[in-house]
């Protein structure tokens, strides 16, 4: 069974498809999450989106963790690696992770806030404007989240000092 400690990323197989898209293939070792976060921060820096970096890094980490914990244990990573893809759209940054599992993402309904697992999709939902998943052919799925690239208006301007 794979775990985050066994997650690995090969920067040598990263792919820049266009100036508005960047991708990184992720396979099993300890450095994988750190490399995915660094890749996200570096890409957002190139796109002058540093203001989105904290939320994007959190979303990327949650998406990658879900793929590693739930998808990779059931497949051979050599046949179908996990792929992180960042796409810049007019008003959104799309963070997407493709994995080899056909299992749907599970939005856990937990009443215990102290549980160690089960809140990843809740975090993604809270930070993104939209999130969802798409089946891949012949196997796998892509789980994605759309983060706003423009500052959101403060709902209550009196809350700032």
First to last CA, the chain: 50
Lowest mean pLDDT among 112-116, 120-124, 132-136: 112-116
Contact present, 61 and 71 (Cβ < 8 Å): no
CA distance 148 to 123: 15
pLDDT band at 156 (very low <50, low <70, confident <90, very high): low
Q: Is 116 a residue whose pLDDT tops 80?
A: no
pLDDT cut 70: percent of the chain above it: 65
Q: Alpha helix locations (H) across the chain?
A: 32-46, 53-66, 120-127
What does the pLDDT look like over 4-63, one tens digit per residue? Answer: 323 333 443 444 446 899 999 986 555 778 889 999 999 999 999 999 999 999 999 999
According to the model, what pLDDT value does residue 44 have? 96
What does the pLDDT look like over 134-152, one tens digit per residue? Answer: 999 888 999 999 999 986 6
* pTM, two decimal places: 0.76
């Amino acid at each position: 069974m794979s775990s985050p400690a066994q997650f690995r990323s090969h920067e040598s197989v990263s792919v820049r498809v266009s100036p508005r898209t960047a991708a990184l293939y992720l396979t099993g070792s300890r450095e994988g999450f750190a490399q995915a976060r660094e890749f996200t921060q570096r890409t957002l820096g190139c796109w002058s989106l540093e203001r989105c970096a904290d939320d994007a890094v959190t979303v990327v980490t949650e998406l990658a963790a879900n793929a590693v914990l739930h998808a990779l244990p059931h497949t051979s990573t050599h046949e179908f690696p996990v792929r992180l893809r960042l796409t810049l759209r007019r008003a959104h940054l799309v963070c997407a992770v493709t994995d080899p599992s056909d299992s749907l993402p599970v939005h856990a309904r937990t009443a215990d806030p102290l549980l160690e697992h089960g809140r990843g999709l809740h975090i993604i939902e809270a930070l993104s404007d939209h999130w969802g998943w798409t089946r891949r052919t012949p196997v796998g799925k892509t789980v994605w989240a759309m983060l706003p690239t423009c500052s959101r208006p403060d709902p209550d301007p009196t809350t700032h000092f």
